[in-house]
Structure 1
Amino acid sequence: MNLLLVDSMTWTITVLGWFIVFVALVFLIGVFLTVPKLLNWGIKRSLRKKNKSTEKVEQADDTVVITGETNAAIAMALHMYFNEQHDEESNVITIKEVKKRYSPWSSKVYNFNNVNFPR
């Protein structure tokens, strides 16, 4: 494509489109990063109003440490579960030619030239 054949309006629309997409992506990233913080802030605020300690909320933010033995047990259980779902296949592909019979149900002639409508 020759760049001289493309007019300036095309470049303006292209640049403006890319700009709008990137601004929307930055906005969505901002929304996804601030919503959890706002939810945690609301929970802490409601607990303070009820005169409860905020330690429970702060403990909920901590990550749970799973040992390697637990991870291995989960991985083995998933492996066994997914392997039981599939049968052993022979990996032989056979192609059989099947002749279709003529069916008047799929004929367009009967659909367009049907003159026996109930009136």
Structure 2
Amino acid sequence: MLMNILSIGSQGGWTVAIVGYSIVFLALVLLVIVFVNLPKLFHLNLRKKLMREGRSGAETDDLNIEGGVNAAIAMALHMHFNQNHDDESNIITIKKVTKNYSPWSSKIYGVMNQPR
């Protein structure tokens, strides 16, 4: 009886492992598909919007910006907006907080101190 339970449990474990790995792998494949096709959808939407405004299709091909340029712009904006944060007063204040005595937090009334 015990061997049957153990053998079913081990088969169930393999099933859970295989199903779990396949779900994670499928989710990763779907994420890759979404992230690869998302810029194409944005570019198509932008191209349609510019066509409605009356701009030519040749102008829309110049809208792609390289990743290095995007990273440089993002870093420049990050440094600009966080520039004010660097000016600090350099004053450290330490205030001593006094706590009132409470028997609820006392260690002498712990679990190991059993009444006789």
Shorter-chain TM-score category?
A: 0.5 to 0.7
Kindly provide the CA deviation profile for residues 54-90 of structure 1, in whole angstroms up to 9, marking residues without a partner as x: 23322221245869xx94x9737624x1134676224
Which of 37, 40, 63 is matched with 1:60 structurally?
A: 63
Give % identity. 21
Kindly state the Cα deviation for residue 27 of structure 1 after the two structures are TM-superposed.
0.5
Structure 1 residues not aligned, in runs of 5+: 101-119
Given the alignment, which residue of 17, 36, 41 partners 1:14? 17
Equivalent AA in structure 1 for residue 79 of structure 2: A
TM-score if structure 2 supplies the norm length? 0.52
Instruction: Provide the residue aligned with 1:78 in structure 2.
Output: 82
Q: Name structure 2 gaps, 5 residues minimum.
A: 1-5, 103-116
- What is the CA RMSD across the aligned residues, in angstroms? 3.8
Residue 99 of structure 2 corresponds to 97
In 2 relative to 1, CA 43–97 (structure 1 residues): closer, same or farther, beyond 3 Å?
closer
How far apart are the structure 1 equivalents of 2:80 and 2:54?
46
**Cα separation, 2, equivalents of 1:52 and 1:77:** 34
From the superposition, tell whether residues 8 and 34 of structure 1 become closer, same or farther in structure 2 (CA, over 3 Å).
same
Query: Runs of 4 or more off by more than 6 Å in structure 1?
Result: none
Structure 1-normalised TM-score? 0.51
The separation in 2 between residues aligned to 1:86 and 1:10, in whole angstroms, is 59
SS in structure 1 of the partner of residue 82 of structure 2: helix
